[in-house]
Amino acid sequence: MSWLVSDPDEDLVQRGRAALALARSQMPLLDGIQREAAESRPLAGHRLVGCVHLTKETGVLVQLLVASGAEVAWTGGDEVSTQDEVAAALAVEGVRVFGRRGMTTAEVGEAAAEAFGAFSDGPTMILDNGAHLIEMAAASLDRHPQLRGATEKTSEGSRRVRELGATIDFPFPVVSVNDVVTKWEVDNTYGTGQSTLDGILRATGMFLAGKRFVVCGFGHVGRGVALRARGMGARVVVVCRSAKTAVRARLAGFEVLPLESAARTADIVCTATGRPDVVTAEHLDLLPSGAVLCNTGHSTAEINLADLQARTVSTEQVRPHVRRHRLDDGRYLDLLSGGGLVNLDAAEGNPSEVMDVTFANQALVTLGLGGRPDRYAAGVQDVDAAQDEDVARRKLAAMGVRFDGSDQPAGTTRGVGEDKSA
Amino acid sequence: MSMVRDLSLADVGQLKVDFAARRMPVLSALVERFSESKPFIGQRIAACLHVTTETANMCRALVAGGAELALCASNPLSTKDDVAATIQRDIGAEVFAIYGCDRETFYQQVQGVLAIRPTIVVDDGADLTTTIHNDYPQLLDEIIGGTEVTSTGVLRIRNMATDGALRYPVLPTNDAATKHLFDNRYGTGQNTIDGILRATNVLLAGSVFVVVGYGWCGRGVAMRARGMGAKVVVTEVDPIRALEAKLDGLDVMTMDQAAAVGDIFVTVTGNRDAITYAHLQQMKDGAVVCNSGHFDVEIAVSELQANATARRELRPNCVEYKLSNGRGVILLAEGRLVGQSAAEAHPAEVMDMTFATQALGVQYLIENAARLEPGIVPIPRSIENDVASAKLRAYGIQIDELSAGQQQYLTDWRVGT
Ligand SMILES: NC(=O)c1ccc[n+]([C@@H]2O[C@H](COP(=O)([O-])OP(=O)(O)OC[C@H]3O[C@@H](n4cnc5c(N)ncnc54)[C@H](O)[C@@H]3O)[C@@H](O)[C@H]2O)c1
């Protein structure tokens, strides 16, 4: 059986087109890049396979790639996030789309494998989100001499790609588009910061002003969550492991505490570390009754659910995304979204204008690899500073913001390339 | 003779009301206090409120204090039928409220409530107060006083008082700091942001966010918008409020100027025509416009609808109107309260303060009936202090007390330089 989307329902196609048009209206960067690339067609002759959540925003990215001359195969790489109407609209535009909303984890893998094998001559370029396709390529490099490049967008996937790069010599550039100021600031910090608070509000309807809000992790995402929780009037406590991060949090005016102390008075605990077992038995035993637990980090194991389950005598679904765990000592804890990503589950993930900036980075690297294969050396690479600067300028122009460097040509602003540690 | 959808819904309703009670520590303490002191014995209370779990807990306090209580809905769309059922069955008020009922039924419900021949009127939006004065003047003799919870209701009653039409003393609950600080500032501040996010999912960070009116609600909305990373602009008609916004670090400009630069607009003026059709025409393509003031008169909605060349529902509560200049304006919740329409009403913790203030206000009216004149009664400081102290206790926060020397310093005019 194939997961290829074919002959989609006309009604579905229409809805997909409307959704894509709406997203495009809020994605001025991609729209602008597409207009430029439709003329120069730097991806002509390329066969491109992508594995990124198939939302309407991703759909706009796919349209850009097609307009740039590429043949495209796509899969969402996720059980539930595929928007079937977007898949349908892309399918009639000639994109080979694999998968649908509501698949098992095994089926997600099958669809990804099908997408990877969609072209008889194999893909020349990969766009990845979680390194699924790059792992497939790494396992079969000798059979894919036609590959010219790959990009990876997530922090977790970039970590994985670097691990792979330590043992394998990729004969083509594998570019991580995560460690770029315009990606982490806009997407991880401000996008996820907002959508996490949005998710907590939609899930619980709770009043945030005055609440003790504990953020575990003060990376790009944790910092965004802490800023926004403070902005909504919460009393924020930051928990982190690295001394450098703790200094940064303290000097930003946040209280820094070990989780063991913070847990005793917490009203809300939100994990944003990307690591498993941040909240475990010892902390669960200290939390006051009624505390809310949620996660916005990549790992769904940040809150140790087995430890929680071991103390639970019964559970009750009190609101759509809130499961109340009654514990054996009489307390109760409210777990949001089953410990999964609360911003994706209870809210809507990143707004279109955030994905616009993230995808602009990924699109520009891909177009660059198509037009000038020598721009990046073989092996695992970061996005170069000039592109980061270019994306930032495009974003400012879209917002109508002028700054002292507005009139100078790109690349001449002071500090270019120095700002990696922001 | 009550009117509720279905009494058998009461079991579900009761659970919800009990759950809300846990987040309403101030009101729950009042229930206990009133069941002992019984301050409302012999009183008949007519109430017109949103029929929600929080209201149910105030009803509990009034009934615990010995009152005979009749309740109707201040807005048929906010009535929760299961809550109405438990107020009737378990709390023991006469309830006249059915979700979504038509206007005629609504007036029957008001009649039903007034059949109790109230001695006290508890109002939200002043509908009960004006109905009594216009259509049931025979009831006025027995009424010793009333309370009114919203800014807009207080404004209407204040206008009645100015016209000499108000026939009994009214305590404006909205004027209490324990109401407007929590409800208008922090409550509306949060629920406006929540409503905008749910309706649009736009990124607030970096956006130009225009707050029209810098009153209690406006300050809260501005504070939260800035907290979400927006660049906030305020428009005002009151020079003092405008100055306050300026010194709070916000940009202050006229609506004409703001219209051209804003990405998101929120009206919280309690006034009509805060954003006119001319303003809408000056806006950027894709500007988002919404209201958090009580009535849907703040934005020129009907003119927008009449003149639009196209209308497109982008998402629930989110409609784009194309103007003849080719630009689109995105209107949320058709100009009605965006927090209540697209997000949820105020959380129980906020209503705790409002309703505790209201319940203590009723007690105050009764205890002081002999000396209060018809008109607007200033909120006694003792009620605000009582409620605020109870809330601090619930938070487990202690504060300092004035020493005898400090007390004297503050009260003796002879002490000086
Ligand atoms: N959304 C909610 O949950 C909620 C909660 C409480 C109150 N309200 C409502 O919000 C509204 C405002 O309440 P408030 O307590 O802030 O009142 P307020 O009187 O404190 O503030 C209103 C402000 O708007 C200003 N204003 C009036 N007309 C204006 C105009 N044309 N342009 C600019 N500014 C103008 C006034 O000068 C004043 O400063 C009322 O209708 C009230 O009933 C809503």
SS (H, E, C) A100-135: CCCCCHHHHHHHHHHHHCCCCCCCCEEEECCCHHHH
Q: Residue B190 and residue A233: Cβ atoms within 8 Å?
A: yes
- Between A421 and B53, where is the model more confident? B53
Which tens digit of pLDDT belongs to each residue from B330-343? Answer: 999 999 999 988 99
Residue A413: the pLDDT is 43
Binding residues of B for NAD(+): 150-152, 215-220, 236, 292-294, 346
Q: Which helix (H) or strand (E) holds B360?
A: helix B348-367
In angstroms, what separates the C-alpha of B348 from chain A's closest C-alpha? Answer: 8
Interface test with B, best of A24, A227, A228, A232 (most B CBs within 10 A): A232
Q: Which residues contact B292 (CB under 8 A, 6 or more apart)?
A: B188, B191, B192, B195, B217, B221, B266, B267, B268, B337, B338, B339
What is the arithmetic mean of pLDDT over B160-171? 96
Q: Residue B350 and residue A227: Cβ atoms within 8 Å?
A: no
Residue B414 clears pLDDT 90, i.e. is over it: no
Residue B149: the pLDDT is 93
SS (H, E, C) A170-189: CCCEEEECCCCHHHHHHHHH
Distance CA A75, CA A83 (A): 11
Q: Per residue of chain A (422 residues), give pLDDT as tens.
A: 899 999 999 999 999 999 999 999 999 999 999 999 999 999 999 999 999 999 999 999 999 999 999 999 999 998 878 899 999 999 999 999 999 988 998 999 999 999 999 999 999 999 999 999 999 999 999 999 999 999 999 888 999 999 999 999 999 999 999 888 888 889 999 999 999 999 999 999 999 999 999 999 999 999 999 999 999 999 999 999 999 999 999 999 999 999 999 999 999 999 999 889 999 999 999 999 999 999 998 777 899 999 999 999 999 999 999 999 999 999 999 999 999 999 988 998 889 999 999 999 999 999 999 877 778 899 999 998 899 999 999 999 999 999 998 887 665 444 333 333 33
Select from 3.40.50.2300, 3.40.50.1480, 3.10.20.740, 3.40.50.1860 the CATH code of B7-175+346-394. 3.40.50.1480
**How many Å lie between the centroid of ligand 1 and the Cα of residue B235?**
12
The C-alpha angle B294, B299, B302, rounded to 5 degrees, equals: 110
Is residue B180 in contact with ligand 1, taking CB distance under 6 Å? yes
Spans of all domains in chain B:
7-175+346-394, 186-336
Q: Is B29 on the interface with A (CB under 8 A)?
A: no
The answer to whether the annotation marks A325 as part of a ligand binding site is: no
Residues A10-183+350-399, CATH architecture: 3-Layer(aba) Sandwich (3.40)
How far is CA B33 from each of CA B27, B45, B61, B92, B360, rounded to the nearest angstrom? Answer: 10, 19, 9, 18, 11
Which ligand 1 atom sits nearest the alpha carbon of residue B184?
A: 6
| Domains A10-183+350-399 and A188-345 agree in fold | yes
Select from 3.30.70.100, 3.40.50.720, 3.40.30.10, 3.40.50.300 the CATH code of B186-336. 3.40.50.720
Complex confidence, ipTM: 0.85
In angstroms, what separates the C-alpha of A46 from chain B's closest C-alpha? Answer: 34
In angstroms, what separates the C-alpha of A202 from chain B's closest C-alpha? Answer: 8
Distance CA A353, CA B206 (A): 11
Q: What percent of chain B has pLDDT over 70?
A: 99
What is the C-alpha R_g of chain B?
A: 23
Q: Residue A205 and residue B344: Cβ atoms within 8 Å?
A: yes
Q: Nearest residue CA, atom 35 of ligand 1?
A: B213
Is residue B183 in contact with ligand 1, taking CB distance under 6 Å? yes
CATH topology for A188-345 is Rossmann fold (3.40.50)
Q: Which residues contact A375 (CB under 8 A, 6 or more apart)?
A: A368, A369, A384
